[in-house]
Amino acid sequence: MTQSIAIAGAGLLGRLMAWKLLCRGHSVTLFDNGSRQGELSAARVAASMLAPYTEVASAERRVFDWGLQALDWWPGLVAELTEVTGRDIACARNGSVVVAHDLDKANLRHFQQQLQAVVPDQMARVESLNRARLAELEPELAARFNEGLYLPDEGYLDNTALLAALTEALTAGGVNWCEHTAVSEVAPGQVKLEGGWQAFDWAIDCRGLGAKDQLTGLRGVRGEVLWLHAPEVDLTRPVRLMHPRYKLYVSPRPGRRYVIGATEIESESMAPVTVRSNLELLSALYSLHSGFAEATVEHAFAHCRPAMPDNLPVVQGETGLLRINGLYRHGYLLSPHVVETALARFDEMNDLRRVSA
């Protein structure tokens, strides 16, 4: 049965939920305080790495298990969107490389120990690299690094292309997209706009940090990234540099573009990127590959990751209402699990509604 569904927030979760519900034949209205470009979302600035191994070093085992599902889920969604829009969306699963300078080898060892502690059964999927093997995987790093780790199951997505494809597919599919429309409250079957409450069969709150007033414990964790064009650098997969002070990552994009990140600061400030963060990220980057010296900075973004006190995602449901949030630094990694969990709750509660009607 077709139901009318309001989704507050058109970032990562809002768009994914809208697409899944649209595909099931529902009538979807999407509200966002920004435009369809998603310029106010964390989704837009993210490095969008799919990195269950590197992320689990500082997270629970569940994050790893949920993250593994994502590696099989995204290619299916990307294929669907490509079929509808004709857009190419880079979605690679060619692994990632972790390196450390000789002086910082202890940090690489520590990372390996963390993996051993959380995913001991997966260590066969963690390959130690010597210089020769590193040269096969990422030749441009072999001059500076003597060892590293290869995590063959990791990958990344081109979030710019993905969000654009979702915009196109949702628009073509008939979603009623209300841009520049702030939602101040979400309640069962209704959303509150400037002009008052609007009624639907369902209301789904996907406002990320914008849901703070209605989700106890939600906080923002600031992150800063630089988007570079580096014609002199040819890296084919995400690379992490283990360093005693800054943990740097480089996530590739088509056309020798790279997302460089990211700081992690317990602050909800959305102020522009600071000089200190730039200095830290760029000096670590130059120590990774001197070809970045000639790169141009195309964007410097700062945003806040929406996080719960335990840094795990939350799906809360009651009849006519879902609140989905807390993706923290794992939005692309965990959204497949979270979206499927939310859809299962939606079905469960619809069944209950039918039985009690």
Ligand X SMILES: Cc1cc2nc3c(=O)[nH]c(=O)nc-3n(C[C@H](O)[C@H](O)[C@H](O)COP(=O)(O)OP(=O)(O)OC[C@H]3O[C@@H](n4cnc5c(N)ncnc54)[C@H](O)[C@@H]3O)c2cc1C
The interface region with ligand X, picked from 71-79, 197-205, 280-288, 298-306 by CB under 6 A, is: 298-306
Tell me: does residue 12 bind ligand X (CB under 6 A): yes
Q: Which residues pair with 219 in a beta bridge?
A: 307
Q: How far apart are CA 338 and CA 321, in angstroms?
A: 15
Q: Does 246 participate in binding ligand X (rule CB under 6 A)?
A: no
Closer Cβ to ligand X, 33 or 82, answer by number: 33
Burial of 192 (0-12, 13-18, 19+ CB in 10 A): middle
Q: How far is the CB of 243 from ligand X (least distance, A)?
A: 18
10 binds ligand X (CB under 6 A): yes
DSSP for 38-52, please give it. Answer: -TTSHHHH---EE-H
Q: Which residues contact 143 (CB under 8 A, 6 or more apart)?
A: none
Is 252 a residue that touches ligand X (CB under 6 A)?
A: no
Burial profile 70-106: b = 16 or more Cβ within 10 angstroms, e = fewer: bbebbeebbeebbebbebebbbbbebbbbbbbeebee
Does 36 engage in binding with ligand X (CB under 6 A)? no
Query: Least distance (Å) from ligand X to the CB of residue 288?
Result: 17
State the binding string over 15-34 for ligand X (x if CB under 6 A, else -): ----------------xxxx
Q: Please say which residue, 71 or 327, places its beta carbon nearer to ligand X.
A: 327
Query: In sequence order, what are the residues at sequence separation of 6 or more whose Cβ sits closer than 8 angstroms to the Cβ of residue 271?
Result: 302
Which residue among 237, 253, 305, 323 contacts ligand X (CB under 6 A)? 305
Among 22, 59, 98, 183, binds ligand X (CB under 6 A): 183
Q: Amino acid letter at 201? A: D
User: Per CB under 6 A, does 38 bind ligand X?
Assistant: yes
Minimum distance from CB of 357 to ligand X (Å)? 31
Residue of minimal Cβ distance to ligand X: 11
CB 106, CB 114: distance < 8 Å: no
Q: Please answer whether residues 133 and 20 qualify as being in contact, where contact means their C-beta atoms are separated by less than 8 angstroms.
A: no
CB 58 within 8 A of CB 220: no
Residues between 191 and 210 that touch ligand X (CB under 6 A): 206-208, 210
- Cα–Cα distance list, 159 to 73, 241, 328 (Å): 15, 22, 16
By CB under 6 A, is residue 327 in contact with ligand X? yes
Q: For ligand X, which is the closer residue by CB, 148 or 326?
A: 326
Q: Does 339 bind ligand X (CB under 6 A)?
A: no
User: Which of 203, 262, 281, 285 is close enough to bind ligand X by CB under 6 A?
Assistant: 262
Gyration radius from the chain CA atoms:
21
Q: Which stretch binds ligand X (CB under 6 A): 12-20, 102-110, 120-128, 271-279?
A: 12-20
Q: Is 182 in the site for ligand X (CB under 6 A)?
A: yes
Residue 196: DSSP 8-state: E
User: Sign of the CA dihedral 88, 96, 20, 10?
Assistant: negative
Nearest alpha carbon to residue 260 among 223, 221, 290: 223
Kindly tell me which residue out of 40, 57, 175, 230 binds ligand X, with binding defined by CB under 6 A.
40
Q: What amino acid is encoded at 297 in this protein?
A: V
* The one among 42, 169, 170, 203 contacting ligand X by CB under 6 A: 42
**Which CB atom, from 115 or from 315, has the smaller least distance to ligand X?**
315
Q: Does residue 330 touch ligand X according to CB under 6 A?
A: yes
Instruction: Give residue for tokens 């880079």.
Output: 90
Check if the beta carbon of residue 96 is closer than 8 Å to that of residue 71.
no
- Does position 47 interact with ligand X (CB under 6 A)? The reply is yes
Minimum distance between the CB of residue 234 and ligand X, rounded to whole angstroms? 21
Q: Answer yes or no whether residue 261 interacts with ligand X by CB under 6 A.
A: yes
Which one of residues 45, 63, 162, 165 is an interface residue with ligand X (CB under 6 A)? 45
Cα 102 from Cα 138, distance rounded (Å): 18
- The footprint of ligand X (CB under 6 A) covers 8-14, 31-34, 38, 40-43, 45-49, 182-183, 206-208, 210, 223, 225, 261-262, 303, 305-306, 325, 327-333
